[in-house]
Each structure stands twice: as C-alpha cells, then as structure tokens.
C-alpha cells in the first residue's frame, strides 16, 4: 500500500485549499448560521463538487478514493463542511441511484443537488431501534395511495425537513423483514405531527413524529412493496461508511495540544506536561494513528475494487471510541470553564474563559450519541463477531 500522495493528489489538495481560501478569506470563517452554506454551495457548484460521492452520471466529480481522503482531511482541518445537503445527499441519493425509478431520480435528485429540500430519516420507533425489523408504523394501500399510521422517534431534523424517507409495515409476514416497505413522505402532508425532544446539550435536534391517516402517493414507494428491508440495509451501509471520524479526531488532537499548552496543570507546570494527562493523550493518539492506517488500508482496498463490509463496523466502533475520548480530554482542558455551558447549571452560556472551551463542551455532549446513532456499539460488535470472527 502506497501511503504517499501522488503529484496529482497534491495538486488536488492545493486546489481544495485555494477554493476554501477564496470562499472564506481570513477573517470571514465559515458560519453555518449566516450565509456560510449558501456561499459554500455556490463555490462547490462552480467546481462541480457539490456531490463528492455521487456517480458521475448523476453529477458527481468522479474522484478517486485518495481524492476523497484529501477532501475530507482538508475540509475538516480548515473548518468547512465536507458535504452539504444532509441526509438527502448522503443517505437517500445512493438509494435513489440503486432502487429509484428514473421518474423518482428525475423528481428528487435535482433538489438535493441544489440544496433546496431537507430530508429526514424515519426508521426508529419506540421499541424498534437496534431491532428495527419490529417496526409497527402501518401503511395500507387504498387505491393509488398508502394510508400511514404510527410513530417514529429520534428523528433528527424532522422539524426542519420537507420530506422523510420512511420504513413502514405493509404486511405481517412470518419473517418480519419481508413485510416492510420504503416510502417517501411529504412532511407537510395532513396528519404528520412533529414534537421536539431536547437532548443533553440543551439543543433541539431530535423529534418524535406521528402519522395519523397520512396519505402517501404509491408513486412515492421506492422499490417494490415488501422490499423495504433490502433498501434500508443498503442505506445503513452508506450511513456507517465514513463514520471513523479520523479527520475530526486529528483536528481535535491538534487543538487539545494547543489548549493544554496554555492551561496550568495540577503539578505546577502546564497541563500538557502533566504525566497522567500526557499518557492518556498519547495513548489516544497512538490508537488514532492506527485507525488512520486502517482507514487508508480500507480506502486502498476499495480503490482496488473491494467492498468495505464489516470493516465499516470496525472503523465506526473504534472511531467513535477515540472521538469520545478526545472530547473528554478537551473538556478536561476546559476544567471549570466547562460549567458555564451547561445551561441547566448557570442559565444562559456565559462569556468567561477561553473561546475554544464553549464548542468543545457541546461537542463532548454530542459525542456521547455517536456510539448509538447509526447502530450502537453492541450492534457493531455483533456484526464483527459474525462476519469477521465467524462466531
Ligand atoms: C444522535 C442520534 C441521531 C439519531 N437519528 C436518527 C434518525 O434521524 N432517524 C432514525 O430513524 N433514528 C435515529 N436515531 C436512533 C438510532 O438509530 C437508535 O437510537 C439506535 O438504533 C438504537 O436504538 P434504541 O435507541 O431503540 O436502543 P435499543 O435498541 O433499545 O438499545 C438499547 C441498548 O441495548 C443494546 N442492544 C440492543 N440490541 C442488542 C443486541 N442484539 N445485542 C447486544 N446489545 C443490544 C444497545 O446496544 C443499547 O445499548 C438516532 C440516534 C442518535 C443517538
């Protein structure tokens, strides 16, 4: 495996850096709450880079795995999103490529590419998370419409979404997976209700979504009736791919070093000199470097025509563990400055302490969910046990 970037990849890296610098010159960093996404989308569109992972025939740039690697590292390092378009771009589009009809592709893909519609994922239900096949949201075909009744939970971004890609039960087969159908539901349809669930970081990202007699045109079904499980499984592979968080952890490592080099430790010197802290940071770094090599090896295999398979579970499992440990170390750096960012403790966030402390506390809290979202750690271990260890 050749780990060095080729001259072409280095030229590509320079082009990525130039685009970011031209779009967000020094002093105007990417701001998701301002016009950051609009500017970034326009810049990406000007280069044909809006949908890095899409096949060329649907508007993707046709990058090699090495170019994807460079792209992810550089965008993370320079603080811009590696892709925009959310779940529509990263999760639904690959499903439309594989299972959507031409009419469905023509109808839904352009809006995803233009970043004008938001999608959410309606899989989990109360009692159907890891054991997704036990889902009960019912869809009954009446003429040319399905009538949908039931409830979804933990639906990220449902409150801002225009559409949901949704798993429904259309029949009660002996094998539960065979009675599931994949539907695209308009979130503005009568009978759809979204209620907020506020998470530990005080923010509203999750929702509970209920369906009460919601009418969904049969033409919004992806694949055949009862084929939803096959469609869903394909989608989950895309969800887990790229969840090693290596770029994020590398960036966290760099910034922890900077912060711990400014903060006093318990033994009189700086925190970075504290043997206990330094040992834990060093161990996390060694594991991160090993994960980075594993990710590179996986990329090389994919480049040679292989499929990642259970390796994506390994990358997610270890990547989640490391990113959580990095965020813990960062909160340790913040020490007492972490407290003001727990709204329940001190009310509104206070403006004391170093600037870097604030986002890191939120990231630490968010990071707890990474070992649940997209399949919990235990579920990933089950996959590895079955497909790698053949247990
Ligand atoms: C940040 C975040 C975002 C999410 N966004 C969405 C979304 O947009 N759309 C959506 O549909 N869902 C979403 N989810 C839900 C997510 O998919 C589920 O939380 C996840 O599948 C786990 O299901 P559960 O919460 O019902 O837990 P359960 O499945 O009830 O699991 C509870 C515990 O039991 C363990 N466990 C369960 N089964 C096994 C087993 N067979 N072997 C060993 N241990 C087991 C689990 O690991 C876990 O520790 C999100 C979750 C998070 C945290």
Residues 160 and 56 in one domain: no
Last residue of a domain, one of 167, 197, 226: 226
Q: How confident is the model at residue 349 (pLDDT cuts 50, 70, 90)?
A: low
The closest alpha carbon to 239, from 87, 372, 120, belongs to 87
Residues 343 and 284 in one domain: yes
Which protein residues are within 6 Å of ligand 1, measured from CB?
120-124, 129-130, 154-156, 369, 372-373, 376, 378-379, 382
Residue closest via CA to ligand 1's atom 48 equals 376
Helix (H) or strand (E) holding 216: strand 204-217
Average pLDDT over residues 90-106: 94
DSSP-derived secondary structure letter, 270: B
Residues 350 and 246 in one domain: yes
Record the tokens describing residue 382, joined without a space: 């089950």
User: What is the C-alpha to C-alpha distance for residues 278 and 229, in angstroms, rounded to an integer?
Assistant: 47
User: What is the C-alpha to C-alpha distance for residues 295 and 189, in angstroms, rounded to an integer?
Assistant: 42
CA-to-CA separations, 298 to 124, 277, 294, 305, in angstroms, rounded: 29, 31, 6, 11
* Ligand 1 nearest atom to the CA of residue 382, by list position: 42
Helix (H) or strand (E) holding 139: strand 138-142
* Structural contact between residues 105 and 93, judged by C-beta atoms closer than 8 angstroms: no
pLDDT per residue over 106-139, tens digit each?
999 999 999 999 999 999 999 999 999 999 999 9
Residues 215 and 247 in one domain: no
In a domain, 98, yes or no: no
Record the tokens describing residue 106, joined without a space: 């023509």
In a domain, 101, yes or no: no
Residues 375 and 246 in one domain: yes
Q: Max alpha carbon distance in the chain (Å)?
A: 76
Active-site hit among 74, 151, 225, 239: 239
In a domain, 89, yes or no: no
pLDDT > 70? residue 340: no
Ligand 1 midpoint to CA 127 (Å): 10
In a domain, 139, yes or no: yes
Highest mean pLDDT among 76-85, 144-153, 229-238, 299-308: 144-153
User: What is the C-alpha to C-alpha distance for residues 192 and 212, in angstroms, rounded to an integer?
Assistant: 7
DSSP-derived secondary structure letter, 184: E
Domain count, the chain: 3
pTM of the predicted model as reported, rounded to 2 decimal places: 0.90
pLDDT > 80? residue 143: yes
Ligand 1 midpoint to CA 281 (Å): 29
Domain membership of residue 156 as a residue range: 119-226
Strands (E), 174-203: 180-186, 192-198
Residues 255 and 371 in one domain: yes
Residues 137 and 209 in one domain: yes
Label the pairing between strands 180-186 and 163-169: antiparallel
Record the tokens describing residue 254, joined without a space: 């760099």
Helix (H) or strand (E) holding 63: none
Residues 213 and 265 in one domain: no
* Ligand 1 nearest atom to the CA of residue 157, by list position: 8
* Ligand 1 nearest atom to the CA of residue 158, by list position: 8
Ligand 1 midpoint to CA 241 (Å): 17
Last residue of a domain, one of 181, 197, 226: 226
The H-assigned helical ranges of 304-355 are 311-334, 343-346
In a domain, 95, yes or no: no
In a domain, 2, yes or no: no
In a domain, 97, yes or no: no
Whether 239 is catalytic is yes
Residues 71 and 166 in one domain: no
In a domain, 306, yes or no: yes
CA angle 22, 26, 29 (to 5 degrees): 85
Residues 286 and 210 in one domain: no
Helix (H) or strand (E) holding 151: strand 145-153
Residues 14 and 137 in one domain: no
pLDDT per residue over 240-275, tens digit each?
556 788 888 998 999 899 999 988 888 789 999 999
pLDDT > 50? residue 296: yes
Q: Facing residues of 138 across strands? A: 149, 169
* Best of 119, 120, 126, 154 for a ligand 1 pocket test (most atoms within 8 Å of beta carbon): 154
Ligand 1 midpoint to CA 97 (Å): 27
Ligand 1 midpoint to CA 174 (Å): 24
Which residue do the tokens 């020490």 mark?
A: 335
* Ligand 1 nearest atom to the CA of residue 126, by list position: 26
Q: What is the CA radius of gyration of the chain?
A: 22
CATH classification of the domain holding 139: 2.40.110.10
Residues 246 and 375 in one domain: yes
Residue closest via CA to ligand 1's atom 22 equals 129
Highest mean pLDDT among 147-151, 203-207, 297-301, 361-365: 147-151
Last residue of a domain, one of 181, 200, 226: 226
Which residue do the tokens 């247990």 mark?
A: 391
pLDDT > 60? residue 285: yes
CATH classification of the domain holding 315: 1.20.140.10
Residue closest via CA to ligand 1's atom 50 equals 373
């Amino acid at each position: 495996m050749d780990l060095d970037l080729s001259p072409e990849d280095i030229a590509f890296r320079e082009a990525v850096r130039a685009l970011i610098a031209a779009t967000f010159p020094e002093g105007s960093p990417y701001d998701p709450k301002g016009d950051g996404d609009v500017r970034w989308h326009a810049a990406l569109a000007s280069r044909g880079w809006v949908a890095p992972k899409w096949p060329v025939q649907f508007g993707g740039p046709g990058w090699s795995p090495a170019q994807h690697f460079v792209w992810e590292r550089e965008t993370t390092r320079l603080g811009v999103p590696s892709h925009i378009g959310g779940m529509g771009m990263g999760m639904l589009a690959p499903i439309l490529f594989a299972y959507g009809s031409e009419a469905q592709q023509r109808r839904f893909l352009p809006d995803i590419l233009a970043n004008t519609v938001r999608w959410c994922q309606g899989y989990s239900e109360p009692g159907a998370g890891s054991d997704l096949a036990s889902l009960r949201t019912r869809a009954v075909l009446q003429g040319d419409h399905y009538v949908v009744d039931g409830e979804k939970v933990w639906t990220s971004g449902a409150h801002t979404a225009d559409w949901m890609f949704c798993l429904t039960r259309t029949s009660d087969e002996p094998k539960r997976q065979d009675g599931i159908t994949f539907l695209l539901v308009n979130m503005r349809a009568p009978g759809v209700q979204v209620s907020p669930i506020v998470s530990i970081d005080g923010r509203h990202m999750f929702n509970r979504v209920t369906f009460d007699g919601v009418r969904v045109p049969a033409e919004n079904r992806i694949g055949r009736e009862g084929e939803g499980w096959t469609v869903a499984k394909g989608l989950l592979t895309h969800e887990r791919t790229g969840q090693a968080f290596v770029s994020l952890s590398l960036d966290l490592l760099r910034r922890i070093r900077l912060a711990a080099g400014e903060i006093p430790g318990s033994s009189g010197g700086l925190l970075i000199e504290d043997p206990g802290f330094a040992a834990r940071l060093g161990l996390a770094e060694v594991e991160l470097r090993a994960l980075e090599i594993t990710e590179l090896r996986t990329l090389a295999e994919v480049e040679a025509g292989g499929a990642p398979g259970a390796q994506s579970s390994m990358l997610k499992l270890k990547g989640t563990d490391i990113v959580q440990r990095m965020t813990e170390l960062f909160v340790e750096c913040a020490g007492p400055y972490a407290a003001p960012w727990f709204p329940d403790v001190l009310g509104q966030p206070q403006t004391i302490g170093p600037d870097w402390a604030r986002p890191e506390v939120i990231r630490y809290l968010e990071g707890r969910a990474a070992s649940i979202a997209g399949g919990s750690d235990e579920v990933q271990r089950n996959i590895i046990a079955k497909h790698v260890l053949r247990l």
